Structure 1
Amino acid sequence: MTFKEKVSELVNAGLAEKPDVFLIDLTITDTFKIIVTLDGDNGVNLQDCIDINRAIESNLDREEQDYSLEVASGGVSAPLKLVRQYKKNIGRTLQVKTATDTITAALVDANDEFITLTWTAREPKEIGKGKVTVEKRLELPYADIKEAIVTITF
């Protein structure tokens, strides 16, 4: 078993005890720096990170392989990567980049194939001068999303 496989197995074992916490990313660098990025259906707290850190560290031998370990939450500005993250952020505003556009809109639904966004836009009137506010709605497949970030407004 490779070092990465062993670490992955330990992370999954630790997460099995925390069903509302899930793995976003596991990176092991050439210098054996282990970076575990977590998210949770109800967020990730410090204790979640400590528990996963312990699940890994207590089962690895530094004599066998020297390593450094970092376990953290993805953070509010981290791009969404998993369908589960989109589902937990329904009702929030996202900034979504596609190949041709950047849209800031409310995430109103997310399923296994696509997300549904709504926003208002000012468009020219069909007749006469001026603009009118219209309600826009878009069903966007995950494959078309280059990056999506939850926006925080104060």
Structure 2
Amino acid sequence: MLLEQALEKNSSLFLIDLEITDNNQIRVILDGDNGVTVEDCIAVSREIEHNLDREENDFSLEVMSAGVSEPLSFPRQYKKNLGRKLKVKTRKGEQIEGEVTEATDDKVTLIWKTREPKPIGKGKVTVQKEAVLDYSDIVEAKVMITFN
């Protein structure tokens, strides 16, 4: 496939979504281990375009990077976001906001701090929580953008 050939030239890029409509509109969404530049999108677009014949079939081609607001879809995306904060919705209905401390091919580990009542006495204490989630238990996960 033409797209596979284009991605082989830059192994840090990977496919998030490919859509081809009935009227030959091709939409490619990419992500990358180090992000995706405009130049990356242009290179992939050219690689695909140069191998298609507009005389035979007219088409439109759009190659773009996964947006910041897009949910994570693949383990590789979790791995590239180590140290970042995610907002996760689980199949059990939980909402967790935590930092990615580990990501494997099967699961992600998140840590966060929360205030809980003291075990003895009045007041609250800050405790660190951890969740290890299988990707199959996650309904949606988005990177939280923070401005320092």
TM-score by length of 2: 0.94
1:137 pairs with 2:130: yes
Match of 2:46, SS state, is: helix
CA shift for structure 1 position 77 = 1.6
Amino acid in the other structure paired with 1:59: N
The runs of at least 4 aligned residues of structure 1 exceeding 6 Å deviation read: none
* Distance in 1 (alpha carbons) for counterparts of 2:76 and 2:13: 11
Q: Partner residue of 2:107?
A: 114
Residue number among 42, 63, 88 corresponding to 2:34 in the alignment: 42
Match of 1:146, SS state, is: strand
Q: Partner residue of 2:6?
A: 14
Q: Partner residue of 2:117?
A: 124
CA shift for structure 1 position 143 = 0.3
1:66 pairs with 2:58: yes
Residue number among 3, 19, 27 corresponding to 1:27 in the alignment: 19
Amino acid in the other structure paired with 2:119: E
Match of 2:67, SS state, is: coil
Amino acid in the other structure paired with 2:70: A
Counting matched residue pairs gives 146
Q: Deviations over 1:26-69 (max 9, x none)?
A: 11122221110011111111111001101111111122222211
Match of 2:146, SS state, is: coil
1:102 pairs with 2:95: yes
The worse-fitting range, judged by mean Cα deviation, of 127-136 and 39-48 is 127-136
CA RMSD of aligned residues (A): 1.1
Q: Partner residue of 1:86?
A: 78
Residue number among 139, 143, 148 corresponding to 1:150 in the alignment: 143
Q: Which ranges in structure 1 are unaligned for 5 or more consecutive residues?
A: 1-8
